[in-house]
A and B are shown apart, each in its own frame.
Chain A
Amino acid sequence: MLNGLQAVLYRDINIFMRKAKKQIIASSISPLLYLIAFGWGFGSHVQVGDIAYTSFLIPGLITMASLNQSFGINGEINISRFYFHTFDEYLIAPVSTYEIVLGEVIYGMMRGFLGAFIVFMYALIFNVKINFSLLFIIAIVLHTFMFSSLGVALAMFVRDHASQQSLNTFVITPMIFLCGTFFPIEKLPVIFKAIIHLLPLTYSTSLIRSTLTGTHLYYWHFLMLIVFCAVFFTLAIYSLKKVEV
């Protein structure tokens, strides 16, 4: 059953395990820096609504870390597709496109969970109160599925390192800074708000934050995430079908 999916995960997980220690240490640095700079350095006396800024920040960091990890598979796929040609093995194998995409997406989600887990550890260490709930799990599953799918889709279009860099500079980084990750978007001018409401990260940040801190939950944001998931996953399948026979 689902041999193609098993094959993709077998490879990805084996390779990940080989460099897990390095990866985990590397992914632990940036959330810590954000916590020190924004949490301690400037946020210790700031409130956002009813909650302390650090409690506001932690869900944002969870969103950011898991996004970086999930979307990050785009780089890995790119290297294996265009540089080592290992991806060709999938394309010539008797497996369907769905299995390959799903395999990569699940791997991206696993990395996303790891990113989230690291920030959770910091929350424990820094004694920041957050609630863990089923709704949070649904939110993070959708969030990581969405950005892994986007990662796979873009890996098929983006050929070289330079375009990948510009993808990060022009899409991912602005999104991380603008979609409510570090500050509430309510304070932004209307035009900005309108743009921000077109971006998928806005909805995952909102859901992850509400479910973790217990602030008002907009259930329709789940719907938005599901729509984005469907669109990005379809795009990923389509982009792979375009190269495959």
Chain B
Amino acid sequence: MQANIAVDVKDIVKTYGTKVAVDGLTFSFYEGQFVGLLGPNGAGKTTTINMLTGLMKPTSGSVLYFSRDFLKNSIEAKSYIGVVPQANNLDRDLTAYENLYQHGLLYKIPKKTVKTKISKLLDFAGLVEYRDKLVKTFSGGTKRRLVIIRALLHEPKILFLDEPTVGLDPQIRRDIWDFIIKINQSHKTTILMTTHYIEEAERLCERVMIINNGKLIADGSPDDLKSTVGAYVLEIYTMERIEELFFDDRQSAVDTLKRCTKPCKVREATLEDVFLKITGRRIDA
């Protein structure tokens, strides 16, 4: 059985004055999918999320959720999408519980059930001890978890995560990754996550859309995308630069390595290689 198309975006454009931030994006994905939007800073990821969630009107183009126009049914559609914005927009002067309770009010969660839902989520995120503490005392990772469970409180069908681990320590980043995977699996939530971390997209997403200068430049599963350049890379360290040779299988890479006279090493290809090949520059450069 074919799953429903959850999100259908047609040719959305956003211009700020003369600057074209999002330049005609078209994509759609199914219910239950975990999709990544990967691109360097300034590629237009946040602008895209803002248009999909009602923070900004697209200059042109359309957004459909479950075949219904978002702009025409925005109140209804907003009730089944959840958003984790790039900045932790919690109320610093409220406690974790109060932030969640306010969200419950905004999404019309019945007062009888909201308390148990909050407790369950605090437990799920390992934040029980922070329940009654003011948000301004929290660390970055704790705030991030709270923002994420806030977006889950109304049990959204589609969850938008805008750079969920930006600015976090590597260890905490890994924790958040595990947490996000847990959400996708246990809640079967459809997820669109933006990121500029290669590893994050590769680890978490079943499908990755690569975006640069507001345009979609590649789209597919991480493995498919990597196979377009070659799954294995032989890096040869010459005096001036690192030369890279691509191979479809490990064996041919290793065979070439054996004949190599300069220092060299075989590694698996990454989405960085895909990006580099298409655009001629690195994602985090």
Contact = CB atoms under 8 A, between A and B. Distances in A.
Interface of A: 3-4, 6-7, 10-11, 14-15, 18-19, 80, 84-86, 88-96, 243-245
A220 to B, nearest CB: 40
Interface string B158-180: 00000000000000000000000
28 contacts: A3-B106, A3-B108, A4-B106, A7-B105, A10-B101, A10-B105, A11-B91, A11-B94, A11-B102, A14-B98, A15-B93, A18-B93, A80-B91, A84-B92, A85-B87, A88-B89, A89-B102, A89-B103, A91-B55, A92-B54, A92-B55, A92-B81, A94-B77, A95-B75, A96-B75, A243-B55, A245-B56, A245-B71
Contacts of A15: 91, 93-94
Residue among A14, A18, A91, A92 with most chain B CB within 10 A: A92
B103 to A, nearest CB: 7
Contacts of B240: none
A80 to B, nearest CB: 8
In the A-B complex, the 3 residue pairs with the smallest Cβ-Cβ separation, listed nearest first, are A7-B105, A85-B89, A93-B106
B89 A14 contact: no
A7 B94 CA distance: 13
Given A15-B91, A93-B106, 10 more contacts: A4-B106, A10-B102, A14-B93, A85-B87, A85-B89, A92-B53, A92-B83, A93-B103, A245-B54, A245-B57
Contacts of B98: 10-11, 14
B140 to A, nearest CB: 15
Nearest to B58: A245
Contacts of B188: none
Nearest to B98: A14
Contacts of B71: 245
B107 interface: yes
A245 to B, nearest CB: 4
B133 to A, nearest CB: 13
Interface in B81-118: 81, 83, 85, 87, 89-94, 98, 101-103, 105-108
A76 B216 CA distance: 39
A245 B94 contact: no
Q: Is the interface of A mostly helix, strand, loop or mixed?
A: helix
A4 to B, nearest CB: 6
B90 A86 contact: yes
A85 B102 contact: no
A86 B55 CA distance: 12
A89 B100 CA distance: 11
B250 interface: no
Contact of B75 (A6, A18, A94): A94
Contacts, number: 80
Given A14-B98, A88-B55, A245-B71, A7 B93 contact: no
Nearest to A10: B102
B215 interface: no
A223 to B, nearest CB: 35
Contacts of B185: none
A244 B54 contact: yes
A11 to B, nearest CB: 5
Which of B76, B103, B106 is the most central at the interface, judged by chain A CB atoms within 10 Å of its CB? Answer: B106
A11 B105 CA distance: 10
B74 interface: yes
Contacts of A94: 74-79, 106-108
A108 B98 CA distance: 21
Contacts of B246: none
B70 interface: yes
A77 to B, nearest CB: 13
Given A94-B75, A95-B75, A86 B89 contact: yes
Interface string B38-81: 00000000000000011111000000000000110011111101
A86 B85 contact: no
A29 B76 CA distance: 47
Contacts of B78: 92-94
B94 A14 contact: yes
Interface string B219-261: 0000000000000000000000000000000000000000000
A85 B91 contact: no
A13 B112 CA distance: 22
Contacts of B93: 14-15, 18-19
A88 B55 CA distance: 7
A129 B76 CA distance: 55
A96 B90 CA distance: 21
A245 B53 CA distance: 8
